[in-house]
Amino acid sequence: MKVGYLGPGKSTFGYAAAKKYAGDKPHMELVPHKTHYELCVAAAKKEIDVALVPIENSIDGVVNENIRIIDRLHRTYHVIVCGEVEVPIELFFLRRADAKEKPQKLVAQRVAKGQCSNKVAAFLKSHDILDFTEADSNGAAAEAAKNDPSVVAVGSFMAVEEYGLVKMEEGSIADREKNYTRFWVLGLKESKPTRNDKTCFLLTLDQPVPGGIAKILTPFAEEGFNMLLIAPISLEGRTWEYCFLIEFEGSFGDPRMERAYNAASRCGASMDGPLRLGSYPSGITVRR
């Protein structure tokens, strides 16, 4: 079984998620990809069996660009969410051990930079660097630091060993101590219902219906489903217009969920009704 993740190498959190998903099963092959788009397309075209894609961070929120990719590929290839994995996140300023000169460039993956924005802002100011340079992944940022002693990368502890880098300060530079990223497992096969499932939908309000969101959510509430997440996702090419990512506890295999979905589709708030992206076993540790 081929499990895709965002590479390069073994120092990205995508690799950590894929490793956690695969466990110790010998038949699992972990396959790196350069971008999340390439990764998702590989799953859609059956070049890999599943793809691990970050979808939400406990500090930086929902990863809008990945939701938009999944939306397009779901409509074209019926890519679905069939699982999820949670990974703890620690980020560090990394550079070569032999680097002596003052840093000239900070390289970071955009989402990782957002998770440690306070430390990044202070770093840029103290080193007279105008802005960070964006990398496709934490692994790519670490590669840049390995190849250039003037570069400091925002990266994971795994990059220390893989790329021979050192941490510029000991502790994680994330804005909050407890930092986690949730990865969706994407594929073409439905998951079997368990006793601890989630179901997610994308909702586009096609018409200016007063109380449209309430009309959509009410049938799920009436059937007893707890809503876990609702997040606006900006629509490409349309100014100030959004669709909404909505996630509930429960499986679409439950007749109550199907009844709620059918009622929401008929309420008149959305011409196409909520778009179901998948039902899948929960992979989240509950914290209070």
CATH for 219: 3.30.70.260
The helix (H) or strand (E) run that includes residue 256 is helix 255-265
Do residues 16 and 83 both lie within one domain?
Answer: yes
R_g (Cα) of the chain, nearest Å: 20
Last residue of a domain, one of 130, 153, 187: 187
In the chain, how many domains are there? 3
b/e map 33-55, b = 16+ CB within 10 Å: beebbebbbbbbeeebbbbbbbb
End-to-end CA distance of the chain: 36
| Residue with token string 């196409």 | 272
Do residues 9 and 84 both lie within one domain?
Answer: yes
**Is 287 inside a domain boundary?**
no
Do residues 257 and 201 both lie within one domain?
Answer: yes
pLDDT in tens, the chain (288 residues): 999 999 988 989 999 999 999 987 878 999 999 999 999 999 999 999 999 999 999 988 999 999 999 999 999 999 999 999 999 999 999 999 999 889 999 999 988 999 999 999 999 999 999 999 999 999 999 999 999 999 999 999 999 989 999 999 989 999 988 899 999 999 999 999 998 999 999 998 866 778 889 999 999 999 999 999 999 998 887 888 888 999 999 999 999 999 999 999 998 888 677 999 999 999 876 554
Task: Specify the pairing of strand 133-135 against strand 105-109.
Answer: parallel
CATH for 20: 3.40.190.10
Do residues 68 and 98 both lie within one domain?
Answer: no
Do residues 268 and 210 both lie within one domain?
Answer: yes
Domain containing 259 equals 197-281
**Is 119 inside a domain boundary?**
yes
Do residues 183 and 46 both lie within one domain?
Answer: yes
Do residues 73 and 119 both lie within one domain?
Answer: no
Do residues 76 and 183 both lie within one domain?
Answer: yes
Q: Are 174 and 116 in contact (CB under 8 A)?
A: yes
Q: Please give the structure tokens belonging to residue 50.
A: 């599943």
Q: What is the DSSP letter of 237?
A: T
Q: Please give the structure tokens belonging to residue 126.
A: 């103290």
Do residues 16 and 56 both lie within one domain?
Answer: yes
**Is 127 inside a domain boundary?**
yes
| 3-state class (DSSP) for residue 17 | helix
Can you give the pTM of this predicted structure?
Answer: 0.89
Please report, for residues 26, 31, 69, 72, 75, the alpha-carbon distance to residue 47 in angstroms, rounded to integers and kept in the order given: 19, 10, 17, 18, 18
Q: Please give the structure tokens belonging to residue 280.
A: 């899948």
